[in-house]
A and B are shown apart, each in its own frame.
Chain A
């Protein structure tokens, strides 16, 4: 039952943690939009965009290596795609960075471009999740317009995610300890099917019990959370700073350099 890697950070306190969840969500969302709005060859223009995720991580007290590890763990699929592009796109492109001038084939630029954007995007998202408790984020999503049905389901999912994963791990361990790896294919498949089927039935029963618990506590309609989200002047300042920063990255920096 030791899965608290994100929650561990989210429970801490810092200036970033204290910001309203909606502000942080909007900031990261706009950041991501600006990030992908850059053309695929303008790799060097991406440089100043590294500031935001690093700053958020730093002020939230989250070690940067943690975010970098997230990037590495998630990269295989994207890397596979990205490494294909140098084979296809061989148009030479000029790259200038300060005093250096290179000519590189377009495919490599695209590969670098997508990789950098990916890394920055993941780090920004990590910064958001490590500085915001999930319950608050859920409330922010609700206030920003996510339908109540989905919010409720998200709440249940989050709540029972680790319970069910633990259950699955216990059952899987029981299966492994009884030599499942040595079994012939048919029995192995049947065992896997049985385990998942059992989990499913248990989940059905569990959800009925949860409903019973809700009903006996008088549930009639939509429950709403008591999580308070308060938009303060700090949040307004934060959003303004981020907006200016993003504008500078998108339109200022490319022109000035």
Chain B
């Protein structure tokens, strides 16, 4: 069909939770390298679940292929080193005594030596604008700094796909703007789940609308964000 290589390919993804909820019902999508895709939908639509499935943190049926690797228990480690997920709450993302340790955690687990891990960590910290805070502990940082730090923890792993779950939530205007600028300069592919439609407009070329576990629409940004009726139907705008 096309010869654009595909970084992430999902076919017929189903996720069923133990308490009876069907979080995802037959989701299929594809993401190309360096492509930025926005993920919108009301709460409970399945955005977080989708990301957790890609990271193999929930049981799913269907097929997920990341950079040619079919995601499963055996290939988990390899697949996880291609994607980096950042949770809504940055607090639980930063669990080491110092920032440097947190950012170096990923590279060390990927098999880097200490010196290389240190260099990667320093570079990632610089990329998010937190140079000088390496020895700080996370509880000394502001909300915006924590969000940036969380981003650094996956950037140091040199992943190819970023999974961002509500990165702009609870940030003040300045921190939010800084975050957008940082993300804008990144070469990685991105799946960005958020309610922040202006952020999506700025960063993403394509948007997927998810509701009740199904993909409702998968179109270029302008097309979806301009379709007010569609957005109203799914409770995303008034």
Residues of A participating in the B interface, judged by any CB pair closer than 8 Å: 1, 4, 7, 11, 133-135, 138, 155-156, 158-163, 206, 209-210, 212-220, 223-227
Contacts and interface: CB of A to CB of B under 8 A. Distances in A.
Nearest to A151: B97
Q: Which of B77, B91, B97, B118 has the most CB atoms of chain A within a 10 A radius of its CB?
A: B97
Contacts of B97: 134-135, 138, 155, 158-159, 225
A226 B118 contact: yes
Interface string B122-140: 0000000000000101111
B114 interface: yes
Contacts of A216: 55, 57, 80, 84-85
A227 B98 contact: yes
Contact of B138 (A159, A217, A224): A159
B57 A224 contact: no
B105 interface: yes
Nearest to A158: B97
Given A215-B57, A218-B80, A223 B108 contact: yes
Contacts of B55: 216
Contact of A218 (B92, B109, B137): B109
A218 B81 CA distance: 7
Main secondary structure of the interface of A (DSSP, over half): helix
Contacts of B106: 217-218
Contacts of A226: 100-101, 104, 114, 117-118, 121
Contacts of B81: 218
Give the interface size bracket for B toward A.
Answer: 35 or more
A66 to B, nearest CB: 19
Contacts of B87: 209, 212-213
Given A159-B139, A227-B101, A213 B93 contact: yes
B50 to A, nearest CB: 14
14 contacts: A4-B140, A135-B101, A155-B95, A156-B95, A163-B139, A206-B92, A209-B92, A212-B92, A213-B92, A214-B105, A216-B85, A217-B80, A220-B77, A224-B108
B192 to A, nearest CB: 17
A153 to B, nearest CB: 12
A223 B96 contact: yes
Interface in B70-112: 77, 80-81, 84-85, 87, 89, 91-98, 100-101, 104-106, 108-110
A95 to B, nearest CB: 48
A7 B137 contact: yes
Given A215-B57, A216-B85, A217-B109, A225 B139 contact: no
Contacts of A138: 97
B149 to A, nearest CB: 12
Nearest to A161: B139
A217 to B, nearest CB: 4
